[in-house]
Amino acid sequence: EEVRHARTHIEAVEVAHGGSFPREWGHKPHVIFPWLDTLVSHPAILNVIESLLGPDILCWSSRFFIKAQNDGGFVSWHQDLPYWGLDASGGVVTAWLALSPATRENGVMKVIPGSHRKLVRHREAAANNLLRRGQEVAVDVDENAAVAMELAPGQMSLHHGLIFHGSDESHASERRIGYAIRYIPASLRTLKGLPRDTATPVRGEDRHGNFELLPRPSRDLDPVCVEAQKRASEISEQIREMAAQ
């Protein structure tokens, strides 16, 4: 029921903006929509995250991953942390929450178990790749070792920022809607020399002050929250560009 509620809101935003979620709201949309803030702070999710990261938790980012029916796009094998500008030793967990069925037919995320143990070199991604430039691993990957993270609506998978993951094209008549929520312990830092990043406190206390804390929305598109989300996106883009150099 909670997932249906969120999906109804997402699709209403899409209808109001020409059929797709506005690109400028793609990064950290939980900052501007209370119904997404509810998801990133959901006790059922945070209880599991706390068992991994400890009691003081920040939501570092969130983003939709939506594939249309019979979408020809794919995501090649990659690791996330090389482009995030975060200290990998501090712990970063992505909760991939299914807002629709995530199946092999509609391009479910797949992972290579054990690949999170080291950072590998990356290269420019191939054509039709939904990744941004330069995010494809430059090593051979044994496709037979891949595990498909199939999910029903309301279920989630958790993955490490260094695990090899990707997805195939969709061959289904139903679209795939996923919401990736990235969590970090409040003690984490950005890498030396990078700008101070932003995050949302969702559990416990922030006794470290390593991140600029974002406001929590009380209504859709509150001007203060919209401005904060815009600035957070600009900082994130700057960090990504610097980290990729």
Which of 15-24, 77-86, 155-164, 194-203 has the least mean pLDDT? Answer: 77-86
- Please state, rounded to an integer, the average pLDDT across all residues of the chain: 93
Average pLDDT over residues 168-183: 93
pLDDT > 70? residue 22:
yes
What 143-149 contacts at long range (C-beta under 8 Å, 24+ apart), as own/partner pairs, is: 145/112, 145/113, 146/110, 146/111, 146/112, 147/110, 147/111, 147/112, 147/113, 148/104, 148/108, 148/109, 148/110, 149/96, 149/102, 149/108, 149/109, 149/110, 149/111
Q: What is the pLDDT of residue 23?
A: 94
Q: What is the pLDDT of residue 119?
A: 87
Q: What is the pLDDT of residue 96?
A: 97
pLDDT > 90? residue 128:
no
Average pLDDT over residues 128-138: 74
pLDDT > 80? residue 197:
yes
Which of 74-78, 185-189, 224-228, 235-239 has the least mean pLDDT? Answer: 74-78
Q: Where are the beta strands (DSSP E) in 145-196?
A: 147-148, 156-160, 165-167, 176-185
The Cα 145–Cα 195 span in angstroms is: 38
pLDDT band at 133 (very low <50, low <70, confident <90, very high): low
pLDDT band at 109 (very low <50, low <70, confident <90, very high): very high
The Cα 54–Cα 159 span in angstroms is: 16
Average pLDDT over residues 54-72: 92
Q: What is the pLDDT of residue 132?
A: 61
Which of 81-90, 144-153, 222-231, 233-242 has the least mean pLDDT? Answer: 81-90
Q: What is the pLDDT of residue 134?
A: 61
Average pLDDT over residues 163-190: 94
The Cα 107–Cα 51 span in angstroms is: 29
